[in-house]
Amino acid sequence: MLEKLFSLGYSKTFAERYYQLWGERALAIAEAMERPLPRCFRVNTLRIEVPKLTKLLNKKGFQFRRVLWAREGFCLTREPFSITSTPEYLSGLLYIQEASSMYPPVALDPKPGEVVADMAAAPGGKTSYMAQLMENEGIIYAFDVGEDRLKETRLNLSRLGVTNTILFHSSSLHIDELGIEFDKILLDAPCTGSGTIHKNPERKANRTMEDVRFCQGLQMKLLEKGLSVLKKGGVLVYSTCSLEPEENELVIQWVLDNFDVELLPLRYGEPALTKPFGIELSEEIKKARRFYPDRHGTSGFFVAKIKKL
């Protein structure tokens, strides 16, 4: 079993960790990540209604299935030519987005008129989905540190017709300097990306436990800062594209132990782990969700919905 994980290119450290976490299933997860994911897209309802766009694409020979958790989301089952070369894509009627990435905005459920923060926004997929769910009403404060990625975000938001978002070229660790209390916050946290091996195969071998610990420390700082500017009764959705419990369940356990919050249940995905590596965590952690390539046909993904009491 471990030999097979080594043969796929995983380092000894991570092969052993995954076997400890999932036993024989670790190989099924690893093998599923060797296969490319289906190309998925979201209909941009700021510019067109869902039935109208699906009809236009069907006429051109595109076929797709609905994403379970996103009423505007679809995954292609037939792509006669690249969907990114269609006038529909170029004019912002749709956005290419991985299925699991559609879930955090849906879980957050921002409403028109609310004051929302996106703490790590680039390249704008989740930001633009939130704007769409808010019908461009209310305001989104979107932060990112990467200048080039922020340029890409600006272009994406412009193409999609998003008008309720202010972009900040800054770390969201400075979010409190705005002096604003937020109704809702999305933190799609910087992470080791171990759930995205299908597009970043080098991560099988070049990540270390030091990387995991570095990301965990940053995630905790960002969560602490986010919770400090969230209104009482407000909701923060935390997500990563990491498989590592240190960046997921253990971070959420730390939040439960140190802040006056509760986890809200999520409908889709598998319950999060409550005994990773034999560490006993709160049963509440089951309310957070994991997505796996072998069962959900997505990247490895984690989502938790936190309410401030």
Report the mean per-residue pLDDT for the chain.
95
Percentage of residues in the chain having pLDDT higher than 70? 100
pLDDT class of 138 with cuts at 50, 70, 90:
very high
**Annotation: binding site for S-adenosyl-L-methionine:** 120-126, 144, 188
Collapsing DSSP to helix, strand or coil, 74 comes out as strand
Q: Which of 129, 124, 127, 56 is nearest to 87 (CA)?
A: 56
Q: Using one digit for the tens of pLDDT, what is the confidence trace for 151-184?
A: 999 999 999 999 999 999 999 999 999 999 999 9
**pLDDT at position 8, please?**
82
Please name the residue ranges forming H helices in the chain.
2-7, 12-22, 25-32, 50-59, 87-90, 103-108, 125-133, 147-160, 203-206, 209-228, 249-258, 293-296
Average pLDDT over residues 279-294: 96
| Averaged pLDDT for residues 131-147 | 95
**Using CA atoms, how far apart are residues 290 and 70, in angstroms rounded to an integer?**
16
| Structure confidence at residue 222 (pLDDT) | 98
The answer on pLDDT for 5 being more than 80 is: no
Position 253 scores a pLDDT of 98
Give the pLDDT confidence score for residue 187 in this predicted structure.
98
Residue tagged 């922020």 (tokens) = 150
State the Cα–Cα distance between residues 30 and 28, nearest whole angstrom.
5
| 231-254 pLDDT, tens digit each | 999 999 999 999 999 999 999 999
Q: What is the pLDDT of residues 80-132, one digit of tens each?
A: 999 999 999 999 999 999 999 999 999 999 999 999 999 999 999 999 999 99
Residue ranges at the known binding site: 120-126, 144, 188
Q: Residue ranges per domain, the chain?
A: 100-308
pLDDT per residue as tens digits for the range 20-42: 999 999 999 999 999 999 999 99
Looking at residue 36, what DSSP letter applies? P
Residue 196, pLDDT > 90, answer yes
Q: What is the pLDDT of residue 294?
A: 93
pLDDT of 107: 98
Structure tokens at 273: 């782990």
pLDDT at 9: 86
CATH of domain 100-308: 3.40.50.150
How far out from the chain centre does Cα 38 lie? 17
| Active-site residue set | 241
Q: Over 80: is that where the pLDDT of 6 sits?
A: no
Q: Rounded to 5 degrees, what angle do the CA atoms 265, 271, 274 make? A: 110
